[in-house]
Chains A and B, each alone.
Chain A
Amino acid sequence: MTALTGITMLEIGDHVSAPTCGAILADLGADVIKLEPPRHGDSARILGPFADGVVDLEHSVLFAHLNAGKRGVTLDLTMPSAGGFLRALLPGIDVVVDNMTHRPEFGGRYHDDWLRECNADLVIARLSPFGRRGPRAGWTAHEISISAASGFSATMGTADREPLALSDAAVGGNAGLYCAAAILVAVLGGAIDQGGESIDISEEEALLAAHTASDVLGWALARSRPRRDGSRQTGDRFIHENVACRDGMAHVSMVIPEQRRNLAAVVAARAPELAPRLDPDDVDGFVDVVREWLPTMTQAELLDLELEHNIGVLPVLEPARFHELLDADRSGPATILRDPLVPPRPAPTLGQHNAEVWGALPGVTPEVLIDMFQTGLS
């Protein structure tokens, strides 16, 4: 039995964050109805990569990955007439996930009170850049803005150049994951039968609480600031660093003393001239020697040495090269993770389930469906 069988969710979701949340809930058994604006649909439909090189609204591989397993309908929520259809749909919905209606073009129409008048027991989860309350609630943002505010960019890049932003899909995906957790908390607490719940996920906070919280403690307790160290991550007596090897880069972890000792033995056996300078207890000096040795080694040789000797060195690979290392059969223990490496199930085409979903509402005759289509409402 899956966790959310019997639960119906309406996803008013664009791009990555809310669709990721919808994907997780769909995979947990929820019936997810995805609502998109007519004509262009979810903006992820125009994001690559595109299947078979066909650049159109129905070939985005990212869109398919995020939206497989959902039903798809269209409705123009900026048109006043949309409200009636939403009002008729909501009594059959348990959870609403929304990352769109905070934008100015929706005029604040679909606020929590309005939704709750349609269905008092709704779990309403809103995703927005900075959350729906607080002094910065109305600020405009794109993914780089979230990367900046959350502190994530404070460690990305080099000190002499501009900071770098986390990839867009990672920013949105993280918020979607955080939102899925919050919805499960509400469901576990019995909210669906007991007056519903309102959830206010901030993309900034989701990144901060999940991934940069230690920096806050580092500052509060030890006045240490995150640094943009390029290919390095350093801390008290540890170093992670990407270093050039013969045919690319290799990642060197100087964390576990046993691995440093093993690496020292491996280097000494292959480059005796370096042996006198290898002191596993002097981490910085040790890395300097390793930096001299690595250009004599290929990534494949280093991986073999790692597998045999446990030396704390792994190749820095392109995704496609990593895929070559994977098991053919990855149908291991059940997880909530969609595997982007298997071809996705079909995602809904734009408006695919309009007749099925809107047509099931009282009074929505085939003539009404045609009017909806011809006037641009759906």
Chain B
Amino acid sequence: MADRPLGGTTVVDFSHYIAGSFATMMLADLGARVIKIESTVHLDGIRRRGPAPGRDTPIERPGAYQFIHGKQSVDVNFRTPEGRAAVLDLVRGADIVVENFRHGTLDRADLGYPILAEANPGVIVASVRAFLLSTRLRDVRAGAPAVQAITGVDAGIGYPDGPPLALGRPMGDTVAGLYTAVSLLAALRRRSRSGHGEHLVIGIDQALVATFATAHLAAEPVARAGNDRAGLAPNNFYRCAGQDAWLSIACRSDAEWQGLVAALGAPAWTGDERFADRFARVRHRRALDGHLAEWCRDQDPQVAADRLQSFGVAAVPLAGPAEQLADPHLAARGLVTWLDHAEVGPHPVVNTMFQLASVRSTATHAAPAAGQDTAAVLGG
């Protein structure tokens, strides 16, 4: 099969910020030609610039280099008659249109789904909205962290003795983007059989409810449990030697527990009857935490993980981007592609990690400057 299965597929991309852009980024990695519609009058917010250490001039938000890579950028204001005509022309030659404006924005520009479908009956249009489950909230302007807060995600995050915290990242956007990509791939398959396009609408609220389904299935209020999980003990992060160095250790089965006991050299406390079986360990998880915290205090997290893993124990250090970029496992599996950006120079982007044996889903070129492909795409 073709190693870039979406080669020959054209996407007109009105996305701004993350939700839509993440979906079209994956399509670009699969070989689609993605034409990003932006206006230098009203720049995509993800291109907002901020200072960066070691650089003389401000750079765009890091997400811009990730989410816009592999796309073409066209400077066109679709709110003008000429701009609207140019966009409709692009849609006539497109397979997919993606937008994540507020409800009604494209309709007001006379570019709603009925108009696009009239121009191109085979076109698949995906609209991503903050709130799809509630008409009352439909017009609220909210970024993903706010949607996470009101849908109940934050209520489940925190320490047992504390208030709701936050995910600390806009997962609502990225999970909605992932659902959008899956929906678009399914729609392409349907179109290959029926010949018809369709309008897909994806809610960030809906994607979050699906992702945190357990909390929504429960009749009772959410309990903030820290890192406690049903049936697992230990299951926690333990502080190690080094700045903010942590090791996660988790055991479910007796075999894993026996491995942990052996890896620690069978200290006397492991023979305590409070840790004699799974049931007992779960009931006495705080006492278990105390012993493991003491053992971890002087350990290097990577060395300790290697040792515990050699005994079959799920021990994994807390990683951040610096550790991930240096990680031999992720390197061997092709996590990043290095691209050369006209302004910031060489930088990595994280590939779409679908890991098919005969399909590449890796980045090919760096994010365009706003409007850099206008002439090439629109002509003259």
Contacts and interface: CB of A to CB of B under 8 A. Distances in A.
Interface of A: 1-4, 24, 28, 46-49, 61-62, 65, 130-131, 133-137, 139-159, 161-170, 173-174, 177-178, 180-182, 184-191, 194-195, 197-202, 204-206, 208-233, 235-237, 240-242, 244, 249, 251, 253, 255-256, 259, 306-307, 310, 312, 314-323, 325-327, 330, 332-341
Contacts of B157: 156, 164
A182 B182 CA distance: 9
Given A181-B26, A242-B164, A340-B209, A319 B235 contact: no
A341 B216 contact: yes
A337 B206 contact: yes
Given A213-B350, A251-B145, A49 B219 contact: yes
B1 A189 contact: yes
B14 interface: no
Contacts of B52: 221-223
B217 A49 contact: yes
Nearest to B139: A307
Contacts of B222: 318-319
Given A144-B248, A157-B165, A173-B210, A224 B62 contact: yes
Given A144-B227, A205-B335, A210-B178, A199 B354 contact: yes
B250 A211 contact: no
Contacts of A241: 166
B321 A216 contact: yes
Interface stretch (B33-41, B187-195, B273-281): B187-195
Contacts of A316: 149-150, 154-155, 164
B26 to A, nearest CB: 7
Contact of A62 (B217, B322, B359): B217
Contacts of B2: 189
Looking at B67, B190, B248, the one whose CB has the most chain A CB atoms below 10 A away is B248
A316 B164 CA distance: 8
B79 interface: no
B268 interface: no
Interface stretch (B80-88, B114-122, B169-177, B369-377): B169-177
A144 B229 contact: yes
A186 B359 CA distance: 8
Contacts of A142: 229, 232, 235, 250, 252, 314
Contacts of A46: 231
Given A177-B178, A185-B361, A229-B168, A319 B141 contact: no
Contacts of A150: 319
Interface of B: 1-2, 5-6, 22, 26, 30, 48, 50-55, 59, 61-63, 65-67, 132-137, 140-143, 145-146, 149-152, 154-159, 163-171, 174-175, 177-179, 181-183, 185-190, 192-194, 199-202, 206-207, 209-222, 226-227, 229-232, 235-239, 244, 246, 248, 250, 252, 256, 309, 312-322, 324-325, 328-330, 332-333, 335-336, 344, 347-359, 361
A147 B164 contact: no
Given A155-B167, A211-B175, A242-B165, 12 more contacts: A3-B186, A4-B186, A173-B211, A185-B361, A194-B1, A201-B353, A208-B324, A211-B169, A230-B166, A318-B221, A336-B183, A337-B210
A167 B216 CA distance: 13
A57 to B, nearest CB: 15
Contacts of B329: 130, 134-137
Nearest to B176: A337
B188 A221 contact: no
A253 B179 contact: no
A136 B316 CA distance: 10
B244 to A, nearest CB: 8
Nearest to A184: B185
A187 B222 CA distance: 39
A148 B175 contact: no
Nearest to A152: B169
Given A164-B158, A317-B150, A335-B200, A205 B133 contact: no
A154 B321 CA distance: 9
B321 to A, nearest CB: 4
B321 A151 contact: yes
B320 A151 contact: yes
Contacts of A3: 186-187, 189-190
B190 A325 contact: no
B141 A310 contact: yes
A166 B226 CA distance: 10
Nearest to B206: A337
A217 B66 contact: yes
25 contacts: A49-B219, A141-B250, A148-B246, A149-B317, A162-B226, A162-B236, A162-B246, A170-B211, A177-B175, A184-B185, A185-B5, A198-B357, A200-B357, A209-B335, A211-B175, A217-B62, A217-B347, A220-B347, A229-B166, A249-B164, A253-B145, A310-B141, A315-B149, A322-B152, A338-B210
